[in-house]
């Protein structure tokens, strides 16, 4: 019997195949006492397992490259956390086996993170994966992970760890479905980078029986269980139509009546450049430089290393626009040498620009490196600060840029509602705005971007979020300045049309989404986009906004 389920679509495309479930989590090791003379040997076993898992995660990162590499390297550092290792040693010293000590130490740390506020829930999932890998190695059992299969399948899991998502084989994994996660979780972002259709936050996903045939629509978030031949044909025809539209859409982003909307790429470093160029990116709308800093959380990279990395990106876009976000540390991206470990709620504490203003030497070195990297290159460099709250923040950043001798446009990210509401004031100090819709939604709705239970409020179609986008875009227009979107909202083709209708001047997204957005924008006039935007803002919920905009664009 055919049934339809709905989750949150996070990666475009259609996949039809049999369900295969993720390998089961490691069982809890038995609690047994060891003689005191075995403690040193068990401590050695624990350390060897930790180092082996960290090395495996680093190796997976090197193979994956790009954003995935930075995420996996952060997990490797988590495995080697000195406090965790010290706790494991203490537990072994009083009689625990290595595997039980690891299990209990990670459980205690997990409780601490959970008690520190839901913002760290995404890191809890990563911590669980690291624990499972270490315990599996100690027990000598298969590592939890993607199932073995010679035939293509749809992967179903409660959640997917970055280590698994990063190395999915798109020729075997047709798509994936998870019960947890949200549209801006690590797995969702990596799925878009891979171009694998994906749906997250699907209630009851793990109850889908092994071998059941399902159809996954990563655009709508719909899951069709046991689809009939008619439904399969309909979905396949829709997918073929989309593929043909993608192939025919080339060149700069624009509406059908010629209104230009530059389409830019979000990247984490040089490894992401090739995909961006292949997808026809007109430049970079968000260069996340924190991934460079995550290589070593104990100290900042040298100015020389930064110059080399920035040059590789800038050289790839001659005559193009490259927007660099200075280090965004704190909250879910802690760095030992910068961010405090004892903040009760890191998401609302010292992060982003606040961190840099407390450590001016780090900001000064980064800005100097950017100035040197751009010297003599025919590139339009723009540099922006994360987590700008008001004009005072914007001025402090602009002053720092000028002091570093940076010849570039200075901008501010709009991720805090106050910056959107007072955008004209902020624009007295900077030359452009860039809307980070992921964090803007998080702070607007008090909804952690990593928690599946509140994914409804993380939906970028929420009318209140669209109102803030409209306010910021109108302020930029009034000041004769630009206002782009670099959050994941830009990767939704229909929402890209709405954002254009709201007055956004450029869109930046993962490379895999660029063809979809380019093809969709080219189908509609600017006036149609504006009418769709007005209809979406007049709605009372995200679903109603999406339906209203679709009705306008389809001519209903």
Catalytic residues: 186, 486
Reading the block at residue 103, the tokens are 């299990």
Nearest to 101 by CA among 117, 85, 115: 85
C-alpha angle with apex 500: 499 to 505, nearest 5 degrees? 105
Reading the block at residue 258, the tokens are 């010629």
Q: Where are the alpha helices (DSSP H) in 386-483?
A: 391-403, 417-421, 423-426, 437-445, 455-458, 463-478
Q: What are phi and psi of 296, to 5 degrees?
A: -150, 100
Total H helices, total E strands in the chain? 23, 16
Q: Can you tell me the distance from the alpha carbon of 169 to that of 221, in angstroms, rounded to the nearest whole number?
A: 22
Q: Residue 328: left (phi > 0), alpha (psi -120 to 50), or beta?
A: beta
Give strand ranges (E) for 40-91.
none
Q: What are phi and psi of 330, to 5 degrees?
A: 115, 170
Distance of CA 206 to the CA centre of its chain: 23
Q: Can you tell me the distance from the alpha carbon of 68 to that of 167, in angstroms, rounded to the nearest whole number?
A: 9
Q: Can you tell me the distance from the alpha carbon of 255 to that of 433, in angstroms, rounded to the nearest whole number?
A: 22
Q: Can you tell me the distance from the alpha carbon of 273 to that of 343, in angstroms, rounded to the nearest whole number?
A: 36
Dihedral of the alpha carbons of 206, 210, 211, 212, in degrees to the nearest 10: -40
Q: Can you tell me the distance from the alpha carbon of 358 to that of 329, in angstroms, rounded to the nearest whole number?
A: 12
Pairing of strands 482-485, 432-435: parallel
Q: Can you tell me the distance from the alpha carbon of 274 to that of 285, in angstroms, rounded to the nearest whole number?
A: 15
């Amino acid at each position: 019997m055919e049934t339809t389920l709905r989750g949150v679509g996070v990666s475009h495309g259609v996949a039809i195949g049999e369900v295969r479930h993720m390998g089961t989590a490691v069982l809890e090791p038995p609690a047994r006492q060891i003689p005191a003379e075995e403690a040193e040997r068990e401590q050695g076993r624990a350390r060897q397992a930790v180092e082996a898992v960290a090395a495996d995660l680093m190796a997976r990162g090197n193979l994956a490259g790009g954003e995935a590499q930075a995420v996996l390297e952060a997990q490797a550092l988590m495995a080697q956390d000195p406090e965790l290792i010290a706790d494991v040693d203490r537990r072994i010293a009083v009689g625990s086996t290595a595997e039980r000590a690891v299990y209990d130490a990670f459980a205690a740390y997990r409780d601490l993170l959970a008690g520190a506020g839901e913002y760290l829930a995404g890191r809890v999932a990563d911590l669980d994966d690291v624990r499972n890998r270490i315990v599996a190695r100690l027990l000598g059992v298969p590592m939890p992970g993607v199932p073995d299969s010679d035939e293509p399948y749809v992967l179903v899991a409660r959640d997917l760890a970055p280590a698994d998502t990063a190395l999915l084989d798109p020729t075997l994994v047709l798509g994936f479905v998870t019960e947890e996660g949200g549209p801006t979780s690590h797995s969702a972002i990596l799925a878009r980078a891979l171009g694998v259709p994906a749906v997250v936050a699907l209630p009851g996903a793990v109850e889908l029986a092994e071998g059941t045939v399902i159809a996954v629509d990563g655009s709508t978030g719909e899951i069709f269980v046991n689809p009939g031949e008619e439904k399969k044909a309909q979905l396949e025809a829709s997918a073929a139509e989309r593929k043909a539209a993608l192939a025919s859409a080339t060149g700069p982003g624009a509406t059908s009546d010629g209104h230009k909307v530059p389409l830019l790429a979000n990247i984490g470093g040089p490894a992401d450049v090739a995909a961006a160029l292949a997808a026809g990116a007109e430049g970079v709308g968000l260069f996340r430089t924190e991934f460079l800093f995550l290589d070593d959380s104990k100290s900042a990279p040298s100015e020389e290393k930064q110059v080399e990395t920035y040059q590789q990106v800038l050289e790839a876009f001659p005559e193009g626009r490259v927007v660099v976000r200075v280090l965004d540390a704190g909250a879910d991206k802690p760095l030992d040498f910068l961010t405090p470990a004892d903040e009760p709620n890191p998401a609302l504490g010292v992060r982003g620009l606040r961190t840099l203003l407390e450590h001016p030497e780090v900001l000064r070195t980064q800005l100097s490196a950017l100035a040197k990297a751009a010297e003599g290159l025919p590139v339009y460099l723009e540099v922006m600060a994360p987590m700008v709250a008001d004009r005072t923040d914007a001025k402090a950043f602009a002053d720092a840029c000028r002091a570093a001798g940076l010849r570039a446009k200075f901008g501010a990210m709009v991720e805090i509602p106050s910056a959107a509401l007072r955008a004209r004031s902020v624009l007295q100090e900077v030359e452009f705005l860039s809307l980070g819709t992921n964090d803007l939604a998080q702070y607007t709705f008090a909804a952690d971007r990593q928690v599946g239970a509140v994914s409804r409020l993380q939906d970028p179609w929420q009318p209140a979020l669209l109102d803030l986008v409209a306010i910021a875009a109108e302020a930029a227009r009034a000041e004769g300045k630009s206002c782009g979107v670099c959050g994941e909202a830009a990767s939704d083709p229909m929402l890209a049309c709405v954002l254009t209708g709201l007055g956004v001047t450029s869109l930046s997204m993962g490379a895999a989404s660029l063809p979809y957005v380019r093809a969709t924008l080219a189908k509609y006039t600017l006036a149609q986009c504006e009418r769709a935007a007005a209809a979406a803002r007049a709605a009372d919920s995200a679903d109603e906004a999406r339906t209203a905009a679709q009705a306008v664009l389809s001519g209903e």
